[in-house]
Amino acid sequence: MYVAVKGGEAAIANAHRLLADRRRGDRSLPSITIEQVVEQLGLAVDRIMAEASVYDRSLAALAVRQARGDMIEAIFILRAYRTTLPRFGYSEPIDTAGMLVERRVSATYKDLPGGQLLGPTFDYTHRLLDPSLIGDEPVAAPAMKEPGEQAMRVSDILDGEGLIEGDGQMPGGHVAGDLTREPMEFPMPRDLRLQALARGDEGFLLALAYSTQRGYGRTHPFVGEVRIGEVEVELDLPELGFAVSLGTIRVTECQMVNQFKGSAKQPPQFTRGYGLVFGQSERKAMSMSLVDRALRTDEFSEDIVAPAQDQEFVISHADNVQATGFVEHLKLPHYVDFQAELDLVRRMRRDHEAARAGQANGMKEAAE
Amino acid sequence: MNAQHTLDTAPGTAGRKEGMRLLARATLAELTAAWEAIADKPDVAPVRGPETGLVMVRGRIGGGGDPFNLGEATVSRATVRLSTGEVGHGQMLGTDKERARYAAIFDALFQNDAHRPAVEALHGLIAARLDREDQRKAEETAATRVDFFTMVRGED
């Protein structure tokens, strides 16, 4: 028999009304605008876009405002919204070599074409709270300088000497899979793994990446380069017969260079991990590239000895919308399940008591 | 992509493609001002949209390898037909349907000999603004380039 329990409508309505009140906060303070969130909390907006897997700065800002700053809730809201939109198609692959670079650093070469461009970085700040930001003091305009040559890709420099493996190739005839269209299956090819990692939880990927550095699946990494900037998105229009540009998006790319592999057929060369993320998120792109390399055990015949190398473990747990859904569902009513467990534990205790009593009797009889 | 918002005004495919690229980056203010300035406006009938949807943005493994799906982006698009017969398409990132509709109108007007000069003037305006913006960004980034120097210690 199944008995549905109803009720709580009024409580839920009032709870949501209270949520709206707390979200607005002190009414004597001005409400924050979507534009302000986009402009002044841009990296929060970027993280929401990356992990919701939807590039739209305004919608991400709306989501984080609606979520009172709860990032995973904001990601959830944006992820849910995307399901209401039709899919127009697949873009041409973006060309990160042609990026309008805002930051590009390499840890492998000091002097390289394009140079080390620091861009708007937190690196080299002292991480001291800045009391001047309590107020609204004027901010100096950026310095300007004549631009130099185009920033060359570091992997191309090494590739010229054959010292590094090429950009990733899938087996001939392989069509890139799409996680939003097909259920997950393992083993999962690298293209699908990259899609999952690109929208994976930053904290989870950071922890896994860190674990590889601490020895759980070590890969001896160097940052070949990290670059941040705008790339063009082009969509093929069948009605016209050519691809047109839809505008630009900002992405972060990390080329991780890892220690060598060789075989009887091939001389030793550096291997690679790749990270590509919506928005400005160096930490995420670097973590992604470390985890991507760690997961390529099948290509390099490496033993799976650490969590970061186990693709089923990594990919199945990287999505924070799925994770929060399953963890948080535990707080929903489980009254009937729990009642059954209660009955069970009571019965087990009765049996246990009876068995002990029987044992005690038996011992008494034996002693007599 | 660095500061090269070229203005290929040939009325063939290349010119139209470049025009659509610029219209995708036009502000609503630029589009409405250009529309207001047109004296003999044709009637505009919607064929499709304006509507908002998603495009799956693809990247390449390792930057230049085989494609993979990176994530989706919102895109708005519209198709219109002018009373003079031309059909135009507008499409751009984001959820602004009004801009997509105007972009479609100007794509249609570009195919009309009488209106093409006005559309080319709009293209020029957008291209000039984008060049300025890209140039400024490139100069701001260039100012953060590290100039290494070597410190020599000791006597010899």
Q: Do A101 and B52 touch (CB under 8 A)?
A: no
Rounded CA separation A196/A177 (Å): 11
Q: Does A144 touch chain B (CB under 8 A)?
A: yes
- Check whether residue A20 and residue A100 sit in a common domain: no
Q: What is the pLDDT of residues A50-63, one digit of tens each?
A: 999 999 999 999 99
Q: Which residue has the higher pLDDT, A165 or B60?
A: B60
The gap from C-alpha B49 to its chain's centroid, in whole angstroms, comes to: 19
Alpha-carbon separation of residue A111 from A108, A117, A137 (angstroms): 9, 11, 37
Assigned domain for A362 exists: no
Assigned domain for A295 exists: yes
Assigned domain for B153 exists: no
Q: Which chain B residue has the Cα nearest residue A141?
A: B140
pLDDT for res A236: 93
Assigned domain for A15 exists: yes
Q: Which residue from A198, A246, A255 is facing B92, i.e. has the nearest CB?
A: A246
Joined tokens for residue A55 = 């590039």
Assigned domain for B156 exists: no
A with B: how many residue pairs have Cβ under 8 Å apart? 239
Assigned domain for B94 exists: yes
* Beta-bridge mates of residue A242: A237
Assigned domain for B6 exists: no
Hey, which bits of A74-221 come out as E strands? 87-90, 100-105
- Check whether residue A63 and residue A189 sit in a common domain: no
Q: Which chain A residue has the Cα nearest residue B71?
A: A53
For the question of whether the overall pTM of this predicted structure is more than 0.80, the answer is yes
Domain hosting A76: range is 9-82
Assigned domain for A90 exists: no
> What is the spatial order of strands in the sheet that A269-278 belongs to?
A100-105, A222-237, A242-261, A269-278
Interacting residues of A105 by C-beta distance below 8 A, sequence separation 6+:
A116, A117, A118, A223, A225, A226
- Check whether residue A271 and residue A299 sit in a common domain: yes
Q: Does A89 touch chain B (CB under 8 A)?
A: yes
Other CB atoms within 10 A of residue A77 CB: 20
**Minimal Cα–Cα distance from B115 to chain A, Å?**
21
Q: Which amino acid is at A172?
A: G
- Check whether residue A14 and residue A114 sit in a common domain: no
Assigned domain for A359 exists: no
pLDDT for res A151: 84
- Check whether residue A109 and residue A238 sit in a common domain: yes
Assigned domain for A138 exists: no
- Check whether residue A60 and residue A188 sit in a common domain: no
- Check whether residue A60 and residue A152 sit in a common domain: no
Interface of A with B in 219-278 (CB under 8 A): 230-233, 235, 237, 239-240, 242-249, 251, 253, 255, 272, 274, 276, 278
Domain hosting B81: range is 13-141
Assigned domain for B154 exists: no
The mean per-residue pLDDT over the stretch A89-114 comes to 93
Assigned domain for A352 exists: no
Assigned domain for B97 exists: yes
Q: Do B67 and A85 touch (CB under 8 A)?
A: no
**Minimal Cα–Cα distance from B82 to chain A, Å?**
17
Quote the mean pLDDT of chain A: 93
Q: Which residue from A50, A89, A169 is facing B65, i.e. has the nearest CB?
A: A169
Q: Do A86 and B61 touch (CB under 8 A)?
A: no
Whether residue A178 contacts residue B56, with contact meaning beta carbons closer than 8 Å, is answered with yes
- Check whether residue A240 and residue A301 sit in a common domain: yes
Share of chain A above pLDDT 90, in %: 75
- Check whether residue A195 and residue A303 sit in a common domain: yes
Joined tokens for residue B100 = 């997509």
Interface of A with B in 111-140 (CB under 8 A): 111, 115-120
- Check whether residue A47 and residue A113 sit in a common domain: no
Q: Does A166 touch chain B (CB under 8 A)?
A: yes
Rounded CA separation B44/B24 (Å): 19
- Check whether residue A114 and residue A205 sit in a common domain: yes
Backbone angles phi, psi at A294, to 5 degrees: -60, -35
Assigned domain for B98 exists: yes
pLDDT for res B8: 47
Whether residue A232 contacts residue A95, with contact meaning beta carbons closer than 8 Å, is answered with yes
- Check whether residue A27 and residue A76 sit in a common domain: yes
Q: Considering its fold, how many domains does chain A have in total?
A: 2
Q: What is the pLDDT of residues A305-363, one digit of tens each?
A: 999 999 999 999 999 999 999 999 999 888 888 999 999 999 999 999 999 998 888 77
Q: Considering its fold, how many domains does chain B have in total?
A: 1
Assigned domain for B123 exists: yes
